[in-house]
Amino acid sequence: MKLTKAKINELLTQPECEHNLNKGGQGKNKACAQQSQPGSAQGGCAFDGASITLVPITDAAHLVHGPIACSGNSWNSRGSLSSGSTLYKMGFTTDISENDIIFGGEKKLYKAVVQVINNFNPSAVFVYSTCITALIGDDLDAVCKAVVEKYKIPVIPVHSPGFVGSKNLGNRLGGEALLQHVIGSKEPKYTTNYDINIVGEYNIAGEMWAVTTLLEKLGIRVLGKMTGDAKYEDICFAHRAKLNVMICSKALINVASSMKEKYDIPYIEESFYGVDDMSRCLRNIAKFFNDAQLIDRTEKIIEEEISRMNIQLEPYRKKLKGKRMVLYTGGVKSWSIVSAAQDLGMQVVATSTKKSTEEDKSRIKKLLGKDGIMLEKGNPEELLRVIKQTKADLLVAGGRNQYTALKAKIPFLDINQERHHPYAGYIGMVEMARELCEAVYSPIWRQVRKTAPWDQCEEQKE
Ligand code: SF4
């Protein structure tokens, strides 16, 4: 794939992405086009986005062609789990130096790919370009092609230099690599009438398994997982699925819409968080296949799962009832976690809308009611102000906001990609309720809110 301006514009103006709908598919959302800010882009460049999308392919090697810091920036930043190979956890980089910048890094890259193939026997190698190697003009396509010809192993160039744009654009660039080099490159041994793909779900803390187990019970086969707990070969077969189930809002919308155009595979957009959304997802999949028995089975499974979950949730619901939550997360989670918290009897007093589409925003409005606060900006000052104003009991947000919660002396729960607990599906609801209870009722808060000993002395003097 040539990374041209036209290609980048095409990825930023996906006509089916709600961000662009109000621009008639012509314009592009400001946030999508945002460049990473040097020094404030923790996990934010296009290269990072591409590696988020592709690294969960567990039996492949992921080789970063760039200075070692690019690799260090993204390596192991996500808790995607694997049920098989752990090769994806190895950090490979060409670690280019000043000499390579002057004389070119292609030879070094060729040697590195061969070394990875000889020593680790991967199913495939994904080779990522970064700012420096794109700037010096190393020809990734030619190097990958040369290795493929000699070693007959798929070596996939991923054109993702950080400077081209944001993490979201990087997600789509990773998706482009799959579309151009992987999807449709092999045929499955057999297909069934109930084959689906899951697109844009990365199996953080193993949460996809809570859903795939249910799908298996229903007799639905997940042919291609993109890309949580994926094997390289499964993604090659993805073009034979009957339906794409797209998760994570619009991160891989280019994959879903291109597959619709190229392979005539329709897609639906779903969420695995919260009881209502999980049930709706299963119902929509069953409805798509239009099979009365499957619809029946789905209703039975939903009923069984909900009644089991309700028994487990009872003690937590009592403890969490009426607790006030400020939620700061992105995309689909900005409304799906609201509905999950409300299922637990909690009150979400504010949530973020920073990365939300118009559709997401209207869902949030409906869920929060007229008094709910929709946060466009989520800098620490703003969060502290909202926490104070709403007298919130806890903050649920991404890892870097934990210090804001500490400053406000309220409990914190990590909801983003660095989390260690799975919150998807019915089992995930129980896990989330347990974690929320542990956070809210931790004895540490009594200690933290006490006046400090030196301030006590001052108070006594007064
Ligand atoms: S690709 Fe560029 S922006 Fe991203 S980590 Fe490397 S140098 Fe930084």
Average pLDDT of the residues in 151-156? 97
| pLDDT on residue 241 | 98
pLDDT band at 75 (very low <50, low <70, confident <90, very high): confident
| pLDDT on residue 461 | 67
Average pLDDT of the residues in 39-62? 84
pLDDT averaged over the chain?
A: 88
Question: Is the CB of residue 428 below 6 angstroms from any atom belonging to ligand 1?
Answer: no
| pLDDT on residue 230 | 97
Q: How far is CA 56 from CA 42, 111, 168, 180, 229, in A?
A: 20, 24, 17, 18, 6
| pLDDT on residue 21 | 54
| pLDDT on residue 459 | 66
User: Which atom number of ligand 1 is nearest to the Cα of residue 130?
Assistant: 1
* Distance of CA 1 from the midpoint of ligand 1 (Å): 20
**pLDDT: which is higher, 281 or 26:** 281
The Cα–Cα gap between 397 and 350 comes to 12
**Among 133-142, 164-173, 296-305, whose mean pLDDT is lowest?**
164-173
| pLDDT on residue 244 | 97
Q: Tens of pLDDT along 277-322? A: 899 999 999 999 999 999 999 999 999 999 999 999 999 999 999 9
| pLDDT on residue 171 | 92
pLDDT band at 29 (very low <50, low <70, confident <90, very high): low
DSSP string, 224-280: EEEETTB-HHHHHGGGG-SEEEE-STTTTHHHHHHHHHHH---EEE---SSHHHHHH
User: Which atom number of ligand 1 is nearest to the Cα of residue 131?
Assistant: 2
| pLDDT on residue 284 | 97
| pLDDT on residue 271 | 87
| pLDDT on residue 22 | 53
Q: Does 422 score more than 60 pLDDT? A: yes
3-class DSSP assignment, residue 374: strand
Domain with CATH 3.40.50.12380 in the chain: 312-448
Average pLDDT of the residues in 325-349? 85
* Distance of CA 130 from the midpoint of ligand 1 (Å): 6
Tell me which CATH code domain 195-300 carries: 3.40.50.1980
| pLDDT on residue 16 | 66
User: Which atom number of ligand 1 is nearest to the Cα of residue 161?
Assistant: 1
User: Which atom number of ligand 1 is nearest to the Cα of residue 41?
Assistant: 3
| pLDDT on residue 340 | 86
The Cα–Cα gap between 33 and 443 comes to 45
Question: Is the CB of residue 197 below 6 angstroms from any atom belonging to ligand 1?
Answer: no
Fold of 5-182: Rossmann fold (3.40.50)
Q: pTM score, two decimals? A: 0.86
Question: Is the CB of residue 116 below 6 angstroms from any atom belonging to ligand 1?
Answer: no
| Token reading at 214 | 């249910």
**pLDDT: which is higher, 171 or 5:** 171
| pLDDT on residue 249 | 59
Among protein residues, the one whose CA lies closest to atom 4 of ligand 1: 162
Percent of the chain with pLDDT over 90: 64
Question: Is the CB of residue 131 below 6 angstroms from any atom belonging to ligand 1?
Answer: yes
**pLDDT: which is higher, 430 or 6:** 430
pLDDT band at 446 (very low <50, low <70, confident <90, very high): confident
pLDDT band at 192 (very low <50, low <70, confident <90, very high): very high
pLDDT band at 43 (very low <50, low <70, confident <90, very high): low
Q: Does 104 score more than 90 pLDDT? A: yes
| pLDDT on residue 282 | 97
* Whether 126 contacts 88, CB under 8 Å: no
Among protein residues, the one whose CA lies closest to atom 5 of ligand 1: 70
| pLDDT on residue 362 | 80
Cross-sheet strand order for the sheet of 347-352: 373-375, 347-352, 324-328, 394-397, 412-414
| pLDDT on residue 333 | 73
Domain with CATH 3.40.50.1980 in the chain: 5-182, 195-300
| pLDDT on residue 18 | 59
Question: Is the CB of residue 45 below 6 angstroms from any atom belonging to ligand 1?
Answer: yes
* Distance of CA 67 from the midpoint of ligand 1 (Å): 9
Q: Does 40 score more than 60 pLDDT? A: no
* Distance of CA 47 from the midpoint of ligand 1 (Å): 7
The Cα–Cα gap between 429 and 345 comes to 13
Question: Is the CB of residue 70 below 6 angstroms from any atom belonging to ligand 1?
Answer: yes
Pocket probe mutation, ligand 1, options 70, 129, 132, max atoms within 8 Å of Cβ: 70
Average pLDDT of the residues in 371-375? 84
Question: Is the CB of residue 235 below 6 angstroms from any atom belonging to ligand 1?
Answer: no
Q: Does 10 score more than 80 pLDDT? A: no
Quickly tell me which residue has 């504010």 as its tokens: 350
| pLDDT on residue 90 | 94
Backbone angles phi, psi at 350, to 5 degrees: -155, 145
**pLDDT: which is higher, 357 or 408:** 408
Q: Does 73 score more than 90 pLDDT? A: no
Tell me which CATH code domain 312-448 carries: 3.40.50.12380
Question: Is the CB of residue 198 below 6 angstroms from any atom belonging to ligand 1?
Answer: no
* Distance of CA 93 from the midpoint of ligand 1 (Å): 13
Q: Does 385 score more than 70 pLDDT? A: yes
* Whether 432 contacts 423, CB under 8 Å: yes
Q: Does 31 score more than 60 pLDDT? A: no
Question: Is the CB of residue 165 below 6 angstroms from any atom belonging to ligand 1?
Answer: no
| pLDDT on residue 283 | 97
| pLDDT on residue 63 | 97
